[in-house]
Structure 1
Amino acid sequence: MTVVNIPTKAHVLIFPFPAQGHMIPLFDFTHRLALSGGSSLTITVLLTPKNLPFLSPLLSSGVDVETLILPFPSHPSIPSGVENAQDLPPSGFPSMIHALGDLHAPLLSWISSHPSPPVAVVSDFFLGWTQNLGIPRFEFSPSAAIGCCIFNTLWLDMPTRNNDDDDYEILEFPKVPNCPKYPWCQTSSIYRSYVPGDPAWEFIRDSFRANVASSGVVVNSFSAMESVYLEHLKKEMGHSRVWAVGPVLPLSDGGNRGGPTSVPVDHVMSWLDAREDNQVVYVCFGSQTVLTKEQTLALASGLEKSSVHFVWAIKEPVQEEDSTRGNILDGFEDRVAGRGLVIRGWAPQVAVLRHRAVGAFLTHCGWNSVVEAVVAGVLMLTWPMRADQFIDASLVVDELKVGVRACEGPDTVPDPDELARVFADSVTGKQTERNEVVKLKQAALDAIQERGSSVNDLDEFIKHVISLTLNK
């Protein structure tokens, strides 16, 4: 009798960076990985204790996912009890990256003592140090492929300004397709904060450089949107292990994925149900951005003057000294009653964008928001603030032609009259951009259909991970 040796399941460790905009797409990818991998994969997700609630939608979805809970390392720059970058200003991201590096030893101990240790780790692009765990590491990028190209160039080539006092000096990236260029102040704030010779910063630099040396990269994008940048990543990394698996869609948007809210989901949807098709402007700046008092007033004035119908999701201030921001809209909601809905806190963004009534989206251009708008076929009005958002805005407006500029910069106070014009025009004109976003929406949906480019890439990724088990 012939004995057939059936290989054990391939064990994959998933390690997200603890920030909402990073965890959610990686968990959504993990869900797809579990569904597509089926009985061939064992999946473990690594979290620190206070971030476990973010995993609830995945754990309750019915897929078989295990958890590894490790204590968050103490760090002098991170207040005790803080385990999520959302609870820090954007300037706190480097401290979070450095602090998580102290999980290296306990993680190695867990891997070495596990009866069926993982054959691979898929970790966020802020966690390049996981390249040194003795198993193949695959980078997960919550940013666009062009963002990966720019970040890799920054940390490998370390370009500098000619004039240290000129924040608007143009930095060019001639090695990247289409030769992107940005003012110095619009490049990565983490990169601009780099301090040569400082041990913490050298750790962060090495961590970013490790992304290029990783065994592969998984990107929440799709070929029809970013083929030239995906091909550049393959060339840069010296192999074809670049998998575009997007758009990575959420498990659901009916529950609370992001925190407390002042308006129930069913009320938001019934309010939209009473509006005409493509006549509502949705306004949201993501999970971190809090507008200044002056910006909030200018935006409110622009919405009021525009006469458009709108849904405005406002992030409540968390710092005591910002408490005046919470009351500056007194009287505004009364004046726009019937055509404006203000949500304080979390909004069901995916469901809002996909509603037939929503025709435009004023966005900070975080990559998750861009992808969600593309899938919904909604015109984007761009107001990038920081990080990769300027890169995303240029891609959306200049290359893909699916958006128009509304404002830019974290400190800019827009002109209310100009904003009013942009809002009004977004629901009555911009037919060229509207046609392009409809085409891109279809391409996105095609990518995730059977035999679509992103489904094929996900299958190829799973086959590659399984091969690591067979080759052990």
Structure 2
Amino acid sequence: MSTPTSNTHLLLYSFPGAGHIIPLLDLTQHLLRRGLTITVMITAADTHLLNPLISLHPSSLHKLIYNEPEITPSPHHPLITKVISTQKLFDFIVQWFQSHPSPPVAIVSDFLLGWTSELASRLGIRRVVFSPSGAFSSSIIHTLWQSIDEIKARNHNRDDNFLLALQEIPNSPEFPWRHVPVIMRDYIKGDQDFESFRTGMLANMTSWGIMYNTFENLEGVYIDYMKKYVGHNTVWAVGPLLPEKDDPVAIMKRGGSSGSLLDHLFTWLDEKVDESVVYICFGSQVVLSERQMHALTGSLERSTVGFILCVKESGSSSLPVGFEDRMANRGLVVKDWVPQLAILRHPAVGLFITHCGWNSILEGIASGVMMLTWPMIADQFANAALLVDEMGVGKRACEGGPESVPDVVELAQLMDESLSGNRPERVKIKELKRAATKAVKQGTSTRDLDVFVELISEM
């Protein structure tokens, strides 16, 4: 690249939480390789995720540590409370910026931190939205926030089955009211906390640029739509943001640290036939209800598949008595953190039952593993629709919150069938994997990152 970048300083600010921080740190690594100087704003509790990267780039990567401010919890939604708490850092960032000998030329901040658009304006710099979610779900979310008053007026009875048809979005997605994020369903017009949150979300669309953790072959039509929606072309698809295949250490440590179980887990996988194992994980937030857990484990017992089941046991979600002993010859139950990307990339894994969090979806695609979708909250319903209805790389296992329970016999049959023969979903996911690999290997995502760096460096 002709434009020098070594003196170009960016501030990267993630929303707290592993699902947001991990892809931002993957982005950080790509920017460092292109010669930028980066400061990552991070909580003291999350610095362990950043420190390995600092050890590799000690002169060009810095951290700005902060403590999460304490505020009175919002009576409406914990996410609103967390977003409002981040707004209390406005003056802290201004003071840091004004005292820095070479302050950043732009701030790249999470889509939940819409208030940083006002911060950037105050500092006289550009703000770039970083979305760890996809462009399809983003187009839905921002359309809903734009029209939430009108939509709630149309569904004045709060009917869970009220069908939303978003004709302005490509492919005219439709979904029931119960699949709308709960923070929108609970929205109260005029309430100070809700209006602050909505203002921040809408501010994303007025930012100088938007960066999505996705790639053109997956969501090109929605990237183009977002460019029209915001009225400019500084919208980039730069994903999948994942460690390189030739960096096994980064793959094994992505998002956590290895435990004593891992040697046994991978030895167990090494003994299995290629594409014969189902990997089941619902992310860091979701806990299955007791009915859901019993349906899932019942399906596993009825099926013939080998499996790895990741569980977060609680009072309402525990394994049936004796399940682990009965399944000892066919499956592993894991109750600790595991390196999901490394597991998905193992040749023995041929199926992924997922909650459809965007990080998990990208890891599944990059690994070429067919997915069974079980969305629960937030953008997961849109992500599942993208996988199943548009890309054809998955099948539905279940949908909804604690009251939605899969049929035991049908799910067992679906798992068995998904791992047998040359199913079209398995063929298509291999094609999409190749497209994802190409995008980040001198393809469209590499191009978009290079364009972004060149424009930023000209500042």
Where 1:414 maps in the other structure, the secondary structure is coil
Of residues 39, 46, 51, the one that matches 1:51 is 46
Aligned-pair CA distance for 1:419 = 1.1
CA pair 293-141 structure 1, distance change in 2 beyond 3 A: same
Q: Which residue of 2 aligns with 1:81?
A: none
Residues 254 and 265 in structure 1, CA contact (< 8 A), matched pair in contact too: no
Aligned-pair CA distance for 1:164 = 2.5
Where 2:175 maps in the other structure, the secondary structure is strand
Aligned-pair CA distance for 1:151 = 1.3
Aligned-pair CA distance for 1:103 = 0.8
1:382-436 alpha-carbon deviations (Å, 9 max, x no partner): 0000100000000000000000011111221212111111111111146111111
Where 1:26 maps in the other structure, the secondary structure is helix
Instruction: Say whether 1:285 aligns with 2:282.
Output: yes
Instruction: Say whether 1:17 aligns with 2:3.
Output: no
1:81-131 alpha-carbon deviations (Å, 9 max, x no partner): xxxxxxxxx942121111111111111121122111111000000001000
Where 1:381 maps in the other structure, the secondary structure is strand
Q: Which residue of 1 aligns with 2:205?
A: 212
Distance 1:438 1:291 in 2: 30
Q: Which residue of 2 aligns with 1:152?
A: 142
Q: Which residue of 2 aligns with 1:397?
A: 388
Where 1:365 maps in the other structure, the secondary structure is coil
Of residues 49, 67, 70, the one that matches 1:71 is 67
1:284-320 alpha-carbon deviations (Å, 9 max, x no partner): 0011101111111111110011021001111243xxx
Distance 2:8 2:313 in 1: 43
CA pair 358-380 structure 1, distance change in 2 beyond 3 A: same
Q: Which residue of 1 aligns with 2:450?
A: 459
Distance 1:281 1:127 in 2: 36
Indicate the larger mover: 163-172 or 295-304.
163-172
TM-score by length of 2: 0.92
Q: Which residue of 2 aligns with 1:449?
A: 441
Distance 1:247 1:255 in 2: 17
Q: Which residue of 2 aligns with 1:93?
A: 79
TM-score by length of 1: 0.90
Q: Which residue of 2 aligns with 1:271?
A: 268
Of residues 23, 26, 31, the one that matches 2:24 is 26
Aligned-pair CA distance for 1:441 = 0.6
Residues 260 and 345 in structure 1, CA contact (< 8 A), matched pair in contact too: no
Q: Which runs of 4+ in 1 moved over 4 A?
A: none
Distance 2:65 2:219 in 1: 36
Distance 1:274 1:381 in 2: 24
Of residues 401, 404, 408, the one that matches 1:410 is 401
Residues 252 and 341 in structure 2, CA contact (< 8 A), matched pair in contact too: no
Q: Which residue of 2 aligns with 1:137?
A: 127
Where 1:275 maps in the other structure, the secondary structure is coil
Distance 2:134 2:279 in 1: 22
CA pair 62-119 structure 1, distance change in 2 beyond 3 A: closer
Q: Which residue of 1 aligns with 2:311?
A: 314
Where 2:130 maps in the other structure, the secondary structure is strand
Distance 2:458 2:180 in 1: 38
Letter in 2 for 1:459: D
Q: Which residue of 2 aligns with 1:83?
A: none
For the aligned residue pairs, the C-alpha RMSD in angstroms reads 1.9
Distance 1:414 1:347 in 2: 25
Residues 126 and 208 in structure 1, CA contact (< 8 A), matched pair in contact too: yes
Residues 128 and 207 in structure 2, CA contact (< 8 A), matched pair in contact too: yes
CA pair 440-345 structure 1, distance change in 2 beyond 3 A: same
Q: Which residue of 2 aligns with 1:439?
A: 431
Distance 1:8 1:449 in 2: 23
Letter in 2 for 1:253: I
Indicate the larger mover: 276-285 or 91-100.
91-100
Q: Which runs of 5+ in 1 are unaligned?
A: 1-5, 79-89
Where 1:195 maps in the other structure, the secondary structure is coil
CA pair 435-52 structure 1, distance change in 2 beyond 3 A: same
CA pair 7-162 structure 1, distance change in 2 beyond 3 A: closer
Where 1:75 maps in the other structure, the secondary structure is coil
Aligned length: 442
Residues 361 and 380 in structure 1, CA contact (< 8 A), matched pair in contact too: yes
Where 1:325 maps in the other structure, the secondary structure is coil
Where 1:60 maps in the other structure, the secondary structure is helix
Instruction: Say whether 1:386 aligns with 2:384.
Output: no
Distance 1:329 1:13 in 2: 48
Distance 1:387 1:7 in 2: 37
Q: Which residue of 2 aligns with 1:82?
A: none
Q: In the TM superposition, what are the counterparts of 1:33-432 in structure 2 within 5 Å? A: 33-36=31-34, 38=35, 41-62=36-57, 64-77=60-73, 91-133=77-119, 134=121, 135-158=125-148, 159-160=151-152, 161-250=154-243, 252-255=250-253, 257-258=255-256, 264-317=261-314, 322=315, 325-326=317-318, 328-411=319-402, 412-429=404-421, 431-432=423-424
CA pair 399-7 structure 1, distance change in 2 beyond 3 A: closer
Distance 1:65 1:335 in 2: 50
CA pair 8-407 structure 1, distance change in 2 beyond 3 A: closer
1:3-33 alpha-carbon deviations (Å, 9 max, x no partner): xxx8971110000000111111111111111
Distance 1:185 1:71 in 2: 35
Distance 1:443 1:51 in 2: 33
Distance 1:345 1:26 in 2: 24
Where 1:397 maps in the other structure, the secondary structure is helix
Letter in 2 for 1:410: G
